[in-house]
């Protein structure tokens, strides 16, 4: 069996998304809203064609950085950051996920006056086979004793681990997402909700990333890239 890939950092592993191992329902959600898009999802699930990976992401290796180091996120979400400021949320932690191939993935977590939640903006774009993949958006997140409560402005694509209770409101304003999240956690005993601050927020972000990676790796949707695959991507990038 070929070794898993690492690059630059000791122990850093890059993962590829094996969409063919996702459920048909997930593939249909991710496909274009056209007849050809839905047929393509069914084709992928039934025939499971293997294509050389063009994108690799170092899940479980979130790198903390400064807000100045995520200019693409600031540019795309400037108006949303302004709206969040009006809701008393201010930038707390910026992070970037190492990526191979044509793409970028970074995030900005913001803390507000209420310590039992934080806002998280994700910028995630990649280009492969002449197509753009965009999973960028805003979510509000709270952490209970056994549940991670997420109110997301992103469309639903891949399933989440059972510990995540996620509702999706695509294209909703920051204000409506915030109100919806506040209503959801009203039913949660306040003493069970984690109080976030600048000290423990980084740990929470890394914990969530680890749970999602473990869930998708366990079902074969994420898998470590081989050394050969890694070399093929880096060689193409240098060319």
| β-strands 118-128, 131-134 pairing | antiparallel
Other beta carbons less than 10 A from residue 119's beta carbon: 27
Interatomic CA distance for residues 214 and 235, integer angstroms: 29
Interatomic CA distance for residues 200 and 53, integer angstroms: 35
Classify the C-alpha dihedral 209-211-214-215 as positive or negative.
Answer: negative
Q: How confident is the prediction along the chain (239 residues), in pLDDT tens digits per residue?
A: 444 444 455 568 898 888 778 777 776 676 666 656 656 656 566 656 566 667 788 988 899 999 999 999 999 999 999 999 999 999 999 999 998 888 899 999 999 999 999 999 999 988 776 777 778 999 999 999 899 999 999 988 888 899 999 999 998 999 999 999 999 999 999 999 999 999 999 999 999 999 999 999 999 888 898 888 888 877 655 54
Other beta carbons less than 10 A from residue 79's beta carbon: 9
pTM: 0.85
Domain boundaries, the chain: 52-238
Rg (CA), the chain: 18
């Amino acid at each position: 069996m070929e070794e898993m890939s690492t690059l630059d950092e000791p122990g850093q592993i890059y993962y590829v998304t094996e969409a063919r191992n996702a459920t048909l329902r997930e593939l249909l959600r991710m496909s274009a809203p056209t007849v050809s898009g839905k047929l393509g999802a069914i084709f992928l699930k039934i025939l499971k064609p293997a294509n050389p990976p063009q994108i690799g992401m170092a899940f479980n290796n979130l790198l903390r950085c400064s807000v100045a180091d995520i200019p693409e996120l600031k540019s795309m979400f400037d108006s949303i950051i302004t709206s969040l400021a009006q809701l008393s949320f201010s930038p707390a932690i910026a992070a970037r996920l190492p990526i191979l191939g044509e793409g970028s993935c970074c995030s900005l977590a913001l803390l507000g006056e209420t310590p039992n939640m934080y806002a998280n903006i994700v910028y995630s774009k990649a280009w492969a086979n002449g197509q753009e993949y965009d999973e960028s958006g805003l979510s509000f997140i709270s952490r209970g004793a056994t549940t991670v409560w997420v109110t997301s402005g992103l469309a639903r694509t891949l399933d989440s681990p059972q510990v995540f209770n996620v509702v999706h409101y695509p294209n909703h304003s920051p204000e409506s997402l915030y109100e919806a999240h506040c209503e959801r956690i009203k039913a949660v005993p306040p003493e069970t909700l984690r109080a976030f601050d600048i000290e423990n927020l980084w740990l929470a972000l890394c914990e969530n990333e680890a749970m999602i990676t473990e869930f998708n790796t366990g079902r074969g949707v994420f898998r470590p890239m081989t050394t050969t695959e890694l070399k093929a991507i880096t060689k193409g990038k240098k060319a």
